[in-house]
Amino acid sequence: MKLVLVLLAVFISTTYAHAQDSTLLDSLLHTNPALARVLNHSATYQLQVIYTQIDRDTHNVPHFTQHTYHLNPRQYFNPASLVKLPVALLSLEKLHALPAPINRSTIMSTGTAWRCQTPVPFAAPADSNRQATVGNYIKRMLLVSDNLAYNRLYEFLGQKPLNDRLQQFGYLGSRIVRRFAPCDTAANRHTNPVAFHTLTGDTLYKEQAKINLRTPAPPLGPIYAGHAYKVGNRIIHQPYEFTTANNLPLPDITALLQTALFPEAIPTDKRPHLTPADYAFLRQYLHLTPHASRFTPYAAPRYFNAYKKYLYYGRRPEAKLQPGLRIFNIVGMSHGYLADVAYFADSLHRSEFMLSAVLYVNQDGVINDANYEYDTIGEPFLAQLGQLLYRYEAQRPRQYRPDLTLFFEKDPQP
């Protein structure tokens, strides 16, 4: 029965997706032979792409035109770390609802109240970059996709408020219901007590543990992938179930990145209540590389410049950054699914565009065996895809070239 569901889902997704293809994007993709391996087997790789052209008017107001390839919001992919962007946005919004003087630099502690919860006791280390604060957790998520930082902010928000807010924004197919930890469905409905403190440890605000009485229903129904999965050293010969996992369709996470970077283009009731300082903070850490951020926990050589810039650089440690190019992005990599959702700002050619892509690279069909083709197929494909659209956008005619000053502001100290 599970195998039938998998085959049916693939058939429906493939049929639906081909009807959505943009002639322009289809044509562009097929100009690069390096993309042919994936394009010629796009159903196997479950490829989805959104390319958004941005044209400015005489007042520099952006106007967006989307071109899609095999896009199907009902084709499941595991979003992995893509969920960190909505959690960052909503965490910044929640701070404004707390009593002053709490802000993103206020020290936060996390307690425990149920199973599968871990504490972060109060501490005020001399290095402010190592303090437990909402701001530092967001930096960790955006710079290197830190999972523990995500867990702390998932708990800060609470499962129900987090998902209620996504629904209010209109993201009806999105659902964020899991930590990045081996917690079951019930444990993920329970989130920790949190508190905020002065540098000397006095408590400014305390919030009790929260429980969501009912996990939001899976928007796509039963979801299975692969033909087997690994548990320890054993192979279980049946599809892996993602029904209770997080869900974040590619159009939703694309819109959320647009919200972070172009909030004025989103209706006020469809975006969080953030300040200009919040948006400047997000812009800074969405584009910075670990080294350029000067964020001290990531000074080690293991965090190279292209660490999470799959589109264009392909996560190659030796990659040299393209002069004049800033990429503001969020990525996901898990269970063979590889995704990057990005905005490109090119000061050299005065061009800009958004590009979102996800593909599945798991040739043996076994989930959790750590045998995925990220390095050999996925990342090279994304790099070639980003470079192709970068070159096209550099020469695409525009009536008005964009003023990109906002995206090339000097980054303040961390």
For 38-51, what is each residue's pLDDT tens digit? 999 999 999 999 99
Q: Are 228 and 237 in contact (CB under 8 A)?
A: yes
Distance between CA 79 and CA 285 in Å, rounded? 20
Q: List the one residue out of 51, 52, 24, 55 whose CA is nearest residue 399.
A: 55
Residue range 199-257, pLDDT digits in tens:
999 999 999 999 999 999 999 999 999 999 999 999 999 999 999 999 999 999 999 99
Residue range 317-348, pLDDT digits in tens:
889 999 999 999 999 999 999 999 999 999 99
Domain 2-408 in CATH 3.40.50.300? The answer is: no
Residues near 305 by Cβ (< 8 Å), separated by ≥ 6? Answer: 289, 290, 291, 292, 313, 319, 320, 321
Res 411: pLDDT: 74
pLDDT under 50: residue ranges of the chain: 1-19
| Extents of the domains making up the chain | 2-408
Q: List the one residue out of 365, 363, 384, 366 whose CA is nearest residue 374.
A: 363
